[in-house]
Amino acid sequence: MKRFFITAGIVLLCFLMQTTVFQNIAFAGMVPNLILIVVVAYGYMRGKLEGMYVGFVSGLLVDLLYSDLIGMNAILYVLIGYAAGICNEIYYRDEISVPIIFIAISDFVFNFGYYVFQFLLRGRLDILYYVWRTILPEMVYTVLIAVFLYQLLHAVNFYLEQQEDKEEG
């Protein structure tokens, strides 16, 4: 129960941060994708299921507030959460490079998917421009933030696991 509320709180907080504070301190007009970091982190730390739940909830949140089509972000985040969950099998507590690399890849895939749905289907064919203008800068910024945020999420997760272990005795 505790884990549920804390996780929900983290998702909500990251969503709020991304839509408010980080909009104001965007470097070069780019906002880091905090939600994606959380989804990948949960998938990686906790497995496919939790990755998918977190992804679905936060994706739906984004959709309801900012997207015309409901389900667009949700479907992408669910897939990413699931994919990150696959990596849960190689989860190792002190490893940080794997999740960071995975966050980078996911961010690329996510934005590429976003591009395909929202731009390519409208006939915006200049892929390289969008990669260079939006996808890569966001990826770099997201990775930079992820280095800190992942460790924070990891610490929270570690604390919760310890608590749960205690409760189970």
Partner 1 sequence: MRRRNRFSIEPKYILIFFVVLCSILLVASFKYKEKFSPVRAVVGDIITPMQKGINSVGAFFTVKTDIFISKQELMKQNKELQSQLDNISYENRILQQEKYELSELRKLYELDEKYASYPKVAARVIDKDPGNWFNVFKIDKGSDDGLEVDMNVLAGDGTGGGLVGIITEVGHNWARVRAIVDDNSNVGAMILKTNENCIVNGNLKLEDEGLLEFSGLEKSDSKVATGNEVVTSYLSDKYHEGILIGYIKEVKTDSTYSTRYGYITPAVNFDQIETVLVITELKEELDPKPVD
* Residues at the interface with partner 1 (CB under 8 A): 3, 12-13, 15-17, 19-21, 24-25, 46-50, 52, 56, 59, 61, 63-65, 68-72, 74-75, 78-79, 82, 85
The residues pairing with 27 across neighbouring beta strands, listed in sequence order, are 30
Q: How far is the CB of 12 from partner 1 (least distance, A)?
A: 7
Q: How far is the CB of 11 from partner 1 (least distance, A)?
A: 12
Alpha-carbon dihedral of residues 115, 113, 41, 135, nearest 10 degrees?
-30
Residue 7 or 100 having the CB closest to partner 1:
7
Q: How far is the CB of 127 from partner 1 (least distance, A)?
A: 23
Q: How far is the CB of 128 from partner 1 (least distance, A)?
A: 28
Find out whether 144 and 32 touch, Cβ atoms under 8 Å.
Answer: yes
Residue 56 or 150 having the CB closest to partner 1:
56
Residue 13 or 155 having the CB closest to partner 1:
13
Q: How far is the CB of 52 from partner 1 (least distance, A)?
A: 6
Residue 75 or 127 having the CB closest to partner 1:
75
Residue 74 or 100 having the CB closest to partner 1:
74
